[in-house]
Amino acid sequence: MAEITFSSAQKAAMVEQIQAYFEKELDQELGQFDAEFLLDFFSEKMGGYYYNQGLNDARTLLDDKLDTITESFYELEKVTEFNGKY
């Protein structure tokens, strides 16, 4: 799996969301260092699951689109004596 990197702004936004979640849902203040540590932990341990699911979703979407395109080719076929459609 290719390493996924985020910009400083993206990482800062994720850290802020973690801090806000802890404050709102758990009534705990979480410092920036702890929130970054938690983000890094979940990214390393759980990120692969989300990444793989995203790939599977994209593959399913692509397969569906390719099936539609393939069906369109069959619809464009002309009737000939060789394909059994008189």
The pLDDT value given to residue 1: 60
pLDDT tens profile 16-50: 999 999 999 999 999 999 999 999 999 999 999 99
Distance CA 21, CA 58 (A): 29
**pTM exceeds 0.85, yes or no:** no
Mean pLDDT of 52-65: 96
Neighbours of 51 (CB within 10 A): 14
